[in-house]
Structure 1
Amino acid sequence: MRTRQRDRDVPAPRAPWNQIRLGLWMGGHYWTDESGELQFAVVGDQFDMVVSLYSKDGHGPADGVEHHVATMPDGPLTADQIGRVRKLAEVTAQAITEGRNVLVRCHAGYNRSGLVAAQALMHLGYDARSAILLIRRKRSPWALHNSLFEQYLESGLDVTHLLVGLD
């Protein structure tokens, strides 16, 4: 079973999720254990809130856990999708400020989750470059390897939202 789209040559994550900073975790739906076996990342009630940019039945979270789902591609986003990323990042940052533990996840936990997590970090006072570097250090060097998402963050999602909306 593959964990990445067929056009991606990146290794599977080595953990189901990683702590990026106090209150913020980033992960995916699959990971590879020490023996190289693919494992499902199933969320129970480890987190107070889960944000899913990719969703698959049977991967949680448990009943009663606040869950925001906004499936979107790991590629160019529409203005509406960028608006949803902005809103989810605000909700994530607010939850962290309230002392809650939040998991932001996508398929492998690299790009879409990285986009929302980085934007949340920016709401918490990080600049784009620092947020990107922190995510790569804490989750994986492969995190945010989608250069378009990196450009979105460095340009600012407000500007990106306006520019994409012009098309």
Structure 2
Amino acid sequence: MRQVRSHDREVPAPRSRWDEIVPGLWMGGHVWADGSGGLRPVVPDREFGLVVSLYTYPGHGPAPEVEHRVSVIPDGPLAAPQLDEVVRVAALTVRAVREGRPTLVRCFAGYNRSGLVTALALCGLGGLDASEAITLIRRRRSPWALHNETFVGYLLAGLPPVRA
């Protein structure tokens, strides 16, 4: 199977466009590996009421009438304003899920940046601590989800709580 990016040589591309982590909350990326191992684009249309993009690429959706929050952050150490934005988009995600709007949180592959926001949203939705949220994401999305140890460290250290 092809790899996601040249600097992540050991990390396989995701095998699905997106995966439901808990009812109403989905996690995905901009690419996935088809059955032959080729990378295919992921373009949501009207499947979701909110799409949160932490990476963006022209032509990758969603439909114009779908709420789309673009908050580009790097897949690496984050500065304080970037961490604040992670908390803000996680709170937006929590509100949308509580309102019953199907929500997709995505980044390039749907592993790290989307995992950080999704894990924080899961904690904000209640019932899970950071460790449990990480485990759930890896079980539902991919064992490769949240392989960025810096992001795992942010979650386990306790980012500010999500208020929705």
Deviation of 1:35 (Å): 1.8
Moved over 4 A (4+): none
User: 2:60 & 2:8 partners in 1: Cα distance?
Assistant: 24
**AA at the equivalent of 2:23:** L
RMSD: 1.4
Write out per-residue CA displacement over residues 48-101 of structure 1, whole angstroms, 9 at most, x where no aligned residue.
Answer: 000000000010000110000011110000000000000000010111011110
Name the counterpart of 2:27: 26
| 2:144 counterpart residue number | 142
Alpha-carbon distance in structure 1 between the residues aligned to 2:96 and 2:73: 22
TM-score, structure 2 normalization? 0.93
Paired letter, 2:142? S
- Structure 2 gap segments, 5+ residues each: none
The separation in 2 between residues aligned to 1:3 and 1:147, in whole angstroms, is: 18
Q: What is the letter of the counterpart of residue 86 of structure 2? A: V
Q: What's the TM-score once normalised by structure 1's chain length? A: 0.92
> Following the alignment from structure 1 to structure 2, what is the Cα–Cα distance between the partners of residues 145 and 157?
18
1:92 alignment counterpart: 93
- Measure, in 1, the Cα distance between the counterparts of 2:7 and 2:137: 24
- Per the alignment, residue 103 of structure 2 pairs with 102
The sequence identity of aligned pairs, in percent, is 57
Give the paired residue count.
Answer: 159
Residue 129 of structure 2: aligned partner:
127
- Which structure 1 residue ranges, 5 or more long, are not aligned? 160-167
